Structures are given as C-alpha cells and as structure tokens.
C-alpha cells in the first residue's frame, strides 16, 4: 500500500509538503514554508505527524521558499537523510536557505528586543547554521536521469520551466507512477524553457492550481517597459525596480538587454544591487543550457545586437557581442553588479540617469529601501514594481498611490512616478495548465489538485472534469490518501 499525506499546499498556495509512505519507507516531496497570513505561518510551528528522523529522504521540486524553506527546520529536528534535487535547485538553495535562516534569527532577536512575542524568549524557526547543514545534505541529480531514493522508490526530475532548476518529479513506487507536478512554468516566455511535455502517463498526479481560475494578460513584447525606460530617461531621472532576487531579476535584465539591442531604449547604466540577485544571476549564467533555447550561445549567433552609431564595424561589434554573451547572457551594454555596501551607498546618492534593480521585491527590506528613500522625492524618477505586491507592504502602498511612505523610521514624500508591470508571472495560468495536462497519454487514476486557493482549485477541477473527464480531488490540509 502507498499513501500520501498532504502536509501543505492543500487548499492553500504555500507550505508544499507531501509525505509518501510505502512498505514502512517514508519520503517527503518538497519541504516548503507556509507564508502569508499569520494563521498559515503558525503551521510552520506545528509538529509533523511523523518524527523528522523517520523520513528517509526528501525530494525538492525547486528552490522557492514555499517548496524548500522548511528543510532546515526538519534538519534541526533530526532529519539526516539525503535531499534529492536538480543542480540548479542546489545552486539556488545555497543562496536562499542560509539567508532565510539569518532572517529567522533576526526576526526572533527583534521580537525579543521589543518584547512583542508571547513566547519568552522568541526562538527562530531555524538558524543559519541549520540552513548550512541542510544545504550539505543536498544530493543533486541531473534532469531526466532515473535515481533510486529509498527502498522500492525511484524518481526522475523533468524540467518544469518555472525557475532555474525547477522540476516536476516522476516517482515510481512499487510499480506505480506518481507524478508530482511542482510549480509549472509558462509557454513561449523568455529566459526559461516551456514546461516539458509529459508524453506518457501516471497512475496518480498532483497538479498545482495557483492561477487555476485566471488567464494571464497577453505579452506586450516589452512595449510598456520600453516606454517607461524611455520616458524616465527623457526626464533625466533614475528608474528604480524593486524585484524578487531569484527568478524575476533574470527576466528584467533579459528584457532590458533585448530592448537595448533592438534600439527601443537608450543605452543606460544598469545596476543590479542585491548580493542574492547577483549570485542567482551567476547561477543562471552557468546553467544557460537549461534555460530557454533562445539564450543558448551557440544557437543565437544571428541575433547579435547591432547599432548604427557603434564605434566599430559591424563584424567587430558582432564578435564582441558574441564573446560577451558567452560570459554573461544577461549583460546589457553598461551592466554593473554592485558589490559591497559602500558601492551601494555611492549608487544611491548618484543622480546620473540609470536603471537600478534591487531587492526586496515588495520593498519590505534590503538595499532597495535606500534607493527608494533617495529617489521617491524627485519627480524625474520612476519606481517600477515588477511583481505581485501583497496587502500591507510598502510596495502595495506605493502602487495604491500613497503620497508619503515610512522608510527607516522617517516619512518620505512620494513625487516619483510609480508604475507596475504584471506580465512576468512564473506560474502557468489555467489554459497553460490544461495544455500541459493534455500531454498525458492516458488519464491518471486520480488527479490531486494542490497549491491553490479553494476558488482556483474548484475552477480548475471543473475544467479538468469538463474538458478531460478525469477524476480529481482537492485534498484537505493533513489529509491522508491511500492507494
Ligand atoms: Zn515556485
């Protein structure tokens, strides 16, 4: 008998955790943090139904914290097994997990200083040391290679096109196939490849439903971003882009490079001012062959940028561009990664027209706060939000048009233009999920709809029923299913 216990991302989006049990062997797929509302975050502190030390192996679909951010907690509770993931996921986990541990410790210290936690003393969910230990247990596996993970259980990782290293996992357990869909990427987008077609069958399927009731707006081929850059440059202002350090920065820089090479925006200095974003960008560059084929250096020779006003003949410029692309597929003409805090301070005080990409994406912390504090009072500048802005965050307040905003304890007047683009979601929408499901050569015996709010799940379930006729179910939190 096989069972799956849904310990997260059941009737909600975060906390992905699926405990697989077969013949006394326990394997967990994803070890994600609950995020968002307090009621959800409190689940991070609840005990699991089995001791962490009894889990033989963990499998990670990708490196977003709602899929991997609980791993150090399991390690701190005695999990000592291997953590199977792709090479790209290993790279990004090394960046995000120690940082998450550091933030947990800072939050606990802050609560103790200000005495607002009901727990005395407030403790971190895990520490930076726990996170480093977790990272040391990662066991990377290439895509599309079958790997035994525990007695009677083997798997392969298949590229899901959602983030560097992202995968869906085909697991074979005692002759049956369970496909863990992870987070699904999108079709026809830059930077990441399309989700790999299934081209096969599975006995049981778990599919995400974040946008199970939504269709993304049409791609505008970078038009809005180009207009915002041009208009800010004409005013002699700076463009500040708060961005999520992992995943989003790559797409932004890709677009800036492309718009530059198509002469749709002026060549401006582009600064990436976030150590995490810079590290992630380096990982993306190293694994360029796992990205969208358009970015593979050997396949894109005919796409070298051309510029009539360039100081060199076209063939020299073309060769330079090719060399540069091999070094950094993301580098714009005047591309700079900011290193230490001193450089960041200099950039903050500089009035030279430029584009500054910095974290955090919702302006809740990080170096971007210094840039905002300096840029917001000046009407020549623009702040562009490139991702979802949750209620209560500074990013949301700015997008909602507040005329002054509190940063580092002081009020900052907002004179700068505030913009947002919503076209960079990394999750498949309802049509894209259905397109991926259509790749199955036979209906699964049961499809479990996970990783979505109830409305999104129910809408997607109705489509799966109507268009495919598959049997489906959205399990409840902590529900155990046997088959
Ligand atoms: Zn994700």
Q: What does the pLDDT look like over 107-166, one tens digit per residue?
A: 889 888 887 777 788 899 999 999 999 999 999 999 999 999 999 999 999 999 999 999
Q: What spacing in Å lies between the alpha carbon of 246 and ligand 1's midpoint?
A: 10
Q: What spacing in Å lies between the alpha carbon of 451 and ligand 1's midpoint?
A: 10
Residues 6+ apart with CB under 8 A from 309: none
Q: What spacing in Å lies between the alpha carbon of 300 and ligand 1's midpoint?
A: 28
Q: What spacing in Å lies between the alpha carbon of 322 and ligand 1's midpoint?
A: 32
pLDDT at 308: 40
Judged by phi (left if over 0) then psi (alpha if -120 to 50, else beta), residue 461 lies in alpha
> Is residue 287 within 8 Å of residue 91, measured between CB atoms?
yes
Collect the ranges in the chain with pLDDT lower than 50. Answer: 299-311, 323-324, 326-327
**For the stretch 241-271, what's the b/e string if a residue is b when 16 or more beta carbons lie within 10 angstroms of its beta carbon?**
bbbbbbbbbbbbbbbbbbbbbeebbeebbbb
Instruction: Give CA separation, 89 vs 85, 103, 463, in Å.
Output: 6, 20, 32
Q: What spacing in Å lies between the alpha carbon of 116 and ligand 1's midpoint?
A: 32
The pLDDT tens digits of the residues spanning 181-235 come to: 999 999 999 899 999 999 899 999 999 999 999 998 888 899 999 999 999 999 9
Q: What spacing in Å lies between the alpha carbon of 156 and ligand 1's midpoint?
A: 19
Q: What spacing in Å lies between the alpha carbon of 437 and ligand 1's midpoint?
A: 18
pLDDT at 38: 83
Residues 6+ apart with CB under 8 A from 386: 241, 242, 243, 248, 252, 361, 420, 421, 424
pLDDT at 35: 87
pLDDT at 192: 96
Cα–Cα distance measured from residue 377 to residue 397, given in angstroms and rounded to the nearest whole number: 15
């Amino acid at each position: 008998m096989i069972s799956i216990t849904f310990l997260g991302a059941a009737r909600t989006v975060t906390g992905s955790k699926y405990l697989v049990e077969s013949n006394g062997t326990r394997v967990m797929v994803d070890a994600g943090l609950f995020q968002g509302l307090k009621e959800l975050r409190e689940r991070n502190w609840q005990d699991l139904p089995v001791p962490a030390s009894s889990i033989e192996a963990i499998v990670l679909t990708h490196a977003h914290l709602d899929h991997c951010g609980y791993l150090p907690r399991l390690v701190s509770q005695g999990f000592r097994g291997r953590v199977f993931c792709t090479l790209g996921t290993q790279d990004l986990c090394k960046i995000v997990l120690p940082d998450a541990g550091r933030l947990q410790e800072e939050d606990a210290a802050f609560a103790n200083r200000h005495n607002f936690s009901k727990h005395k003393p407030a403790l971190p969910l895990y520490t930076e040391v726990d996170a480093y230990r977790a990272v040391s247990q990662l066991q990377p596996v290439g895509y599309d290679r079958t790997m035994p993970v525990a007695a009677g259980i083997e798997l392969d990782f298949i590229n899901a096109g959602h983030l560097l290293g992202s995968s869906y996992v085909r697991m074979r357990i005692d002759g049956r196939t369970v496909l863990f869909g992870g987070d699904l990427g999108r079709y026809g987008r830059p930077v990441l490849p399309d989700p790999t077609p299934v081209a096969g069958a599975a006995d049981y399927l778990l599919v995400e439903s974040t946008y199970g009731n939504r269709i993304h707006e049409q791609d505008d081929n970078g038009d809005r971003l180009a207009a915002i850059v041009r208009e800010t440059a004409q005013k002699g202002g700076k463009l500040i882009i708060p961005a999520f350090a992992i995943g989003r920065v790559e797409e932004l820089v890709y677009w800036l490079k492309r718009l530059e090479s198509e002469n749709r925006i002026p060549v401006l200095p582009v600064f990436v001012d976030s150590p995490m974003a810079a590290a992630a960008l380096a990982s993306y560059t190293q694994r360029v062959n796992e990205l969208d084929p358009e970015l593979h250096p050997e396949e894109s020779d005919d796409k070298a940028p051309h510029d009539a006003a360039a100081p060199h003949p076209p063939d020299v410029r073309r060769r330079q561009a090719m060399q540069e692309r091999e070094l950094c597929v993301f580098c714009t003409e005047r591309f700079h990664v900011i290193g230490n805090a001193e450089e960041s301070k200099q950039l903050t005080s500089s009035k030279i027209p430029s584009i500054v990409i910095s974290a955090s994406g919702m302006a809740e912390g990080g170096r971007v706060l210094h840039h905002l504090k300096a840029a917001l009072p000046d009407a020549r500048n623009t702040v562009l939000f490139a991702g979802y802005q949750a209620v209560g965050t500074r990013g949301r307040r700015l997008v909602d048009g507040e005329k002054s905003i509190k940063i580092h304890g002081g009020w900052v007047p907002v004179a700068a233009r505030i913009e947002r683009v919503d076209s960079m979601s990394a999750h498949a929408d309802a049509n894209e999920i259905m397109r991926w499901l259509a790749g199955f050569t036979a209906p699964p015996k049961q499809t479990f709809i996970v990783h979505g709010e109830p409305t999104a799940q129910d809408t997607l379930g109705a489509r799966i029923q109507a268009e495919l006729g598959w049997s489906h179910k959205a399990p409840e939190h902590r529900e155990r299913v046997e088959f």
